[in-house]
Amino acid sequence: MTETTSGRLAGRTVLITGAARGQGEAEARLFAAEGAQVLLGDVLDDRGEALAKELQLELGQERVRYQHLDVSSEQDWTAAVETAVSAFGKLDGLLNNAGILRFNELVSTPLDEYLAVVRVNQVGCFLGMRAAAPAIEAAGGGTIVNTASYTALTGMALLTSYAATKGAIVAMTRVAALELAPKGIRVNAICPGAVDTPMSDPANAFAGADGAPALSPEDAAALAAATADLYGKAVPLGRIGRPEEMARVALFLTSADSSYVTGQPMVADGGWMSGVSIG
């Protein structure tokens, strides 16, 4: 069940990518509960369709749809925007959430792995903004929220490809905010720290370019424990973030509550970027 909400997105239509699980799922649930008409986009069709059906039963058939969306495909983006407009009459919000993460040393990163991250994270965000902006303008304006990362603003070992793409997202967000402001479109970015989602699971983040696990179950479990210990020590709030917390940041940036905010990378990292805690 969704949490008690106040209808802050009533009358809005929002397309959310990577919506089948993790942070995107939390955002889809919250946005729908807040009154939005939501188009869920993902490549995980079984999970995405199941979530759409669940929300349709809870909130109404006409409020939620699922659409297969490979964010690296121009054709898929065109189809998704057309579906949103045909199903809901307009599109006035985009949440670029889809992303992948690969841990690897700079000198050990194969070009194919690097480019795979670029295609999803960076190219996907670019294509999404390019495809959605005309429809959002036609609706009278609205919002675009891009999911970047705190690693776009500071360094973290083993994340060359991921940090590069997230830095590009912050840069694109600022340029898009300048260009789209006269069209009534606000563009902002969320910069999460570590968030407890399948993407950040070491078993997935160390997968090869073909998606096959690169760690044994035992090694993955040991790394997960070590990572949790790291977050407990390095993050001032003492824990990893939750998808629902990022969803609330996305809601703020999509709703009228942030009506004078555009071009901003909003950091939500439990204080990780604030510095080093001693003691």
Active site (catalytic) residues: 162
Please return the burial class of 184, using the count of CB atoms within 10 Å of its CB with bins 0-12, 13-18 and 19+. middle
Query: Which helix (H) or strand (E) segment is 46 a member of?
Result: helix 45-59
- The first and second tokens of residue 201, run together, are 């699971």
Nearest to 186 by CA among 251, 139, 132, 141: 141
Q: Which of helix, strand or coil describes residue 268?
A: strand
Q: Which of helix, strand or coil describes residue 207?
A: coil
Residue type (1 letter), 262: T
C-alpha distance from residue 125 to each of 73, 132, 230, 263 (Å): 11, 11, 30, 15
| Spatial distance between the Cα atoms of 32 and 54, rounded to a whole number of angstroms | 11
Q: Which of helix, strand or coil describes residue 18?
A: coil
| Spatial distance between the Cα atoms of 19 and 86, rounded to a whole number of angstroms | 20
- The first and second tokens of residue 15, run together, are 């397309």
Please return the burial class of 47, using the count of CB atoms within 10 Å of its CB with bins 0-12, 13-18 and 19+. middle
